[in-house]
Structure 1
């Protein structure tokens, strides 16, 4: 399997941090101001963030806001656009694996992205995806 322009650890971490600052943090602050409750205990916020992580890449060529800013996106192994099923596997099943292993799999994934040539993490393997610098208009021709 050839991977076209895979995105590594630091750029992916930067995209996650941007998503946190642009989406999660303001959502938590608004929730706290409206309800007066601790946003960390909110199932409502978790559901919104999960839906955001699943739906936006399907409709926005594999991008979420943080990834778009960083110029990286999620695609299937063959370079095609992600689907709802792909993103459900990536977000929900990947998240379940991370939860069941009490976060150990997150550390393993970080090393996988940093060390592996294809830069794929556990949730990428579960969903058959990878994160790439290739833009949708690049055509995704893969090189040996």
Structure 2
């Protein structure tokens, strides 16, 4: 693994991604449902999961926020991610965070801050890491 991306750049990429994609999906939700945000599961939630699962596969590990910050998700072997890799990272990792009542999410942040390889729980589940392309 070469040049792992640290906590702050990963956080910034997530914030940027959340703002851009959130505004886009909020606008779609407003158009279809008459509300910018809905708590119950709807079509735009499905689009959000599709974005997280398929865009990194099609765009060689990037999503919008990661591309802007020049970091990307790769397998620990250095290969590009696959749909199954992203499924493990997003869905299975999300399930772990959900059932740990958010404690796993906090632990993941600490892991990215303190570990030399900057890998979090969902990185270990999927066999990935986030690489700094600078």
So what's the TM-score if we normalise by structure 2?
0.93
Structure 2 gap ranges (5+): none
Q: Secondary structure in 1 aligned to 2:106?
A: helix
Cα distance in 2 for residues equivalent to 1:134 and 1:13? 16
Q: Secondary structure in 2 aligned to 1:40?
A: coil
Instruction: For 1:1-144, list aligned pairs within 5 A.
Output: 3-37=1-35, 38-134=37-133
Cα distance in 2 for residues equivalent to 1:6 and 1:18? 19
Cα deviations by residue, 1:63-113 (Å, 9 ceiling, x for unpaired): 000000000000000111101110000000000001111111000000000
Count of aligned pairs between the two proteins: 133
Q: What RMSD over aligned residues (CA atoms) do the two structures have, in Å?
A: 1.4
So what's the TM-score if we normalise by structure 1?
0.87
Cα deviations by residue, 1:3-22 (Å, 9 ceiling, x for unpaired): 20000111001111111110
